[in-house]
Amino acid sequence: MLRRTCSRFAACSGIDFLINPTPEHKALRETVRKFAEEEVGPQAAQHDLEGKFNRPLLKRCGDLGLLGITVPESVGGSNMDAAAACIVHEELSRQDPGFCLAYLAHSCLFVNNLYWSGNEAQRKKYIPKVCTGEHVGAMGMSEPGAGTDVLGMRSNAVKNASGDYVLNGSKIWITNGDVADVYLVYAKVDGRITSFIIERGMKGFTNGNKIDKLGMRASTMCELFFDNVVVPKENLIGEEGKGVKTMMRNLEIERLVLAAMAVGIAGRCVDEMIKYANTRSAFGQKINNYGQIQRYIAEGYTETEAAKALTYAVSRSVSPGVQNRIGSDATKLFAAPVSKRVADNAMQVMGGMGYSKMMPVERLWRDAKLLEIGGGTIEAHHKNLAKDLTSELK
């Protein structure tokens, strides 16, 4: 029923040409939606309750070719674009945003980032195993004293006599940090941000306990610690001091797919409130006959479609070779609050039922809040947009 409903909504809004720009994109959406409904949805509530990452499910994503969606087939990827990445994140988030966040940390923050920033030897060594799901990837950027102010990071690496690097410092809020096999980690070399590949098991590298979270509980996060970790010079990504460029480039697609996650959450919440309003009666009639309920449904649908249109329109101008910070910041700035607002409205329509763990809206409501924080806060997007738009006028 939900699958037919979503198709009808897309047709009515007239944006199918945006959300499914080619037959290949439409086929991808159908494949991921079927997988999400049949395999991701049924496990979502339990993994949220336990705060547990579903590693076998990530492996299933590898079987479907979803883990390297934006990297070439030569290394095990699917050779698709940012719109395809948005499709996967939207459809997974309709069922389980927490699992989708773990998928994002793996496929976007590690796989996409390393492929487009690394060299051929690094691609051949690491990308095939993360594309199948044999290895789980993560990215370490934020620190206890450097979140939004990421350039203020204090982790540092110093060259030793052999030309290798000795890494010291810590990272926090690292999604997949406690389960990953390989990490892309940022640190300063001579005061300039540089990126490295770190492998689990390196001497001096440990992770802290899992951080207990309000939402997105099916993705686990923790702190990472580096105590004189010797990083082989072959694990330097790109050049010393060039990490900011690769970091900012990857943040653009991260913010875009986080917006797609917001669209997925909002879309599911619209469906849930429509279903409930069509079946729940009060004072002798279905509650969808009441103006207050009609407002929540109408505004929720409209805002979701607007966020969807902006997300997929911007996706056409985000790629490794094209910078579009204005577009990606604007998209996430608009879409993230929409997901939270629509989830809140769905809970209001459903009353006590929506507030209970018997319905997915309670979980989606908790999950939505992170999108206003992770991958750049709302305030960071305000700052970036004002700065970039002002500089364009000079």
Average pLDDT score over the chain: 95
Per the model's pLDDT, the better-predicted residue between 312 and 15 turns out to be 312
Residues 6 and 111 in one domain: yes
Distance separating the N- and C-terminal Cα atoms of the chain: 52
Tell me, what CATH number does 270's domain have? Answer: 1.20.140.10
Query: Percent of the chain at pLDDT above 70?
Result: 96
Residue 368 structure tokens? 């939505």
Query: Percent of the chain at pLDDT above 90?
Result: 91
Residues 236 and 260 in one domain: no
Residue 217: which domain range? Answer: 138-243
Compute the distance between CA of residue 25 and CA of residue 329 in angstroms, rounded to an integer. 24
Residues 238 and 340 in one domain: no
Compute the distance between CA of residue 271 and CA of residue 356 in angstroms, rounded to an integer. 17
pLDDT at 184 over 90: yes
pLDDT at 11 over 60: no
pLDDT at 2 over 90: no
Q: How many structural domains compose the chain?
A: 3
Least confident of 11-15, 31-35, 148-152, 180-184: 11-15
**Each residue's pLDDT tens digit, 87-113:** 999 999 999 999 999 999 999 999 999
Compute the distance between CA of residue 90 and CA of residue 40 in angstroms, rounded to an integer. 13
H or E element that contains 291: helix 291-315
Residues 379 and 272 in one domain: yes
Over residues 161-171, the mean pLDDT reads: 98
Clarify whether 223 is annotated catalytic: no
Residue 159 structure tokens? 């060259």
Domain boundary among 112, 136, 160: 136
Domain boundary among 243, 274, 290: 243
**Letter string b/e over residues 114-124, b meaning 16 or more CB atoms within 10 A of that residue's CB:** bbbbbeeebbe
Q: What is the pLDDT of residue 322?
A: 84
Over residues 190-206, the mean pLDDT reads: 98
Residues 32 and 100 in one domain: yes
Q: Which long-range contacts (CB under 8 A, 24 or more apart) does 18-25 make?
A: 18/308, 18/309, 18/312, 18/313, 19/87, 19/308, 19/312, 20/87, 21/83, 21/312, 21/316, 24/80, 24/84, 25/80, 25/83, 25/84, 25/87
The Cβ of residue 56 has, within 10 Å, a number of other Cβ atoms equal to 9
- Residues 6 or more apart from 166 whose CB is under 8 A from it? 157, 158, 159, 160, 228, 229, 230, 231
pLDDT at 13 over 90: no
**Each residue's pLDDT tens digit, 227-242:** 999 999 999 999 999 9
Residues 173 and 111 in one domain: no
- 147: pLDDT confidence band, cut at 50, 70 and 90? confident
- 14: pLDDT confidence band, cut at 50, 70 and 90? confident
- 3: pLDDT confidence band, cut at 50, 70 and 90? very low
pLDDT at 8 over 60: no
Least confident of 15-19, 200-204, 219-223: 15-19
Q: What percentage of the chain's residues is helix, strand, coil (to nearest 5)?
A: 60, 15, 25
Residues 275 and 359 in one domain: yes
Residue 394 structure tokens? 């000079």
Residues 190 and 213 in one domain: yes
Q: What is the pLDDT of residue 9?
A: 55
Residues 154 and 222 in one domain: yes
**Each residue's pLDDT tens digit, 54-74:** 999 999 999 999 999 999 999
Over residues 161-173, the mean pLDDT reads: 98
Q: Which of 277, 289, 281, 285 is nearest to 345 (CA)?
A: 277
Residue 373 structure tokens? 């924080």
Residues 89 and 183 in one domain: no
Compute the distance between CA of residue 253 and CA of residue 381 in angstroms, rounded to an integer. 14
Q: Which of 222, 227, 226 is nearest to 209 (CA)?
A: 222
Options 91, 223, 254, 303, the catalytic residue:
254
Judged on CB neighbours under 10 Å (0-12, 13-18, 19+), 245 is: middle
Compute the distance between CA of residue 261 and CA of residue 85 in angstroms, rounded to an integer. 10
**Each residue's pLDDT tens digit, 354-394:** 999 999 999 999 999 999 999 999 999 999 999 999 987 76
Residues 356 and 279 in one domain: yes
Residues 123 and 143 in one domain: no
Compute the distance between CA of residue 207 and CA of residue 57 in angstroms, rounded to an integer. 23
Domain boundary among 90, 121, 136: 136
pLDDT at 4 over 50: no
Task: Name the DSSP letter for residue 150.
Answer: G
